[in-house]
Structure 1
């Protein structure tokens, strides 16, 4: 995979066959009516409003999106705000048939829960997504924050698919028990339960509540990542990448922040596209990806 490049969308114009930023008088890309040739923008980071960027992607081009928006439509992100409806509509359009969007989100707590995540989930359904699963991201070491309620230690992971998911590689975990055990089978004709000796399975598919440590060392060992206010665990991104995509698929993060999704896509031999409106966060993401690329090159 090619080296990550920190590209401002105002410095890129899509030509009919390729992106060539060397011999052009630059204009604001958002004022130019063009559609990206996806193969030419793979494995890159872009500074842009994600809606403006997605409008320039062709239909049905993304295998998997993993992203975590700022909590609630009311919350700004490094000075910027987001248009959820437009983000959702464009995600549906660019997702391949059978593709998946993993939407990791929590609710703002201010005089009770806002329930914005629920409203977002319902809107995703309204525009055509299938709610394939509602999973829980459970945080192992969340500090106590509320005096009049139980500690909030989870976020939702909405698994949205465009039709039936085309890829599912279930993650397995070891079972508690192994060996052989007498298990009840069908009843005999006299009504007595019949017991047979069966070998217990040594592994099973994980359930849909996933536990992750948070904070330095748990979320990531990349110290620079914590300059971003809401880093989610690398293992969380990796588990979803392994579950819902295959090697060489395209993994997209329209609000990539410090680049966790892109980093884990690169490590697991997927193509990535990362977009963030904040140049500061794209710089952090680039640092993290450069480390990975250097390590892969040395190997």
Structure 2
């Protein structure tokens, strides 16, 4: 049934990440590259979504009215517009508003942003084959050379996933924060704890018991929503799978392979979060 996966792929993939690939390699290798690209965008987006969700949730529960208003506007806008439209918006903003590679923006020292994507420092082997060292991107006559880079498609997908999931996580975290009895924060303040200590030592560890189960659903949604990458041409698992089924005509088998991989990733994520939740519930904050 799956013997077609050993046939030569016969197509190239624009982004291969850290995996070596060419069109003469078997289809299973192409699918593996697609899976790697899915993980390469999903994991950083998940971390960014957590950071965004925590920041916005603290803004929603802030004592400063301005922070509450701005956080509320962000949550309302992001949660009430389709993710696909947000993804397309970020993609078109990146490819239309950013300058060409010949006039890239220096975001930070060694970090360049242009229509060609985001270039940043990265470890690379020395020219003489010696020890690895940091390679820093530099502006050349026609392009950015050195370092590593991610494409506008990758950036658009990562931004859309992290901002969209972050808005939902913000409400999950806000609910967990508001479930913590106010008397605990008052007791910490009475003992002389600073606001930062109250949040990190009292509020968040207690809120985590409520946050983790609901946040698991958002993590699963982020992984599954990464399949929208096909809309902007990022070669994730679904994009590579679509090309494979068009090449081979094995529609049912290719779809089953993709569904099985997403199912495995979702079950693995859920199992890890359930383990983390059980460990936290038994042993307390970690």
Q: Place the TM-score, normalised by the shorter chain, in its bin.
A: under 0.3
Higher helix share: 2
Higher strand share: 1
TM-score for the superposition, normalised by structure 1? 0.24
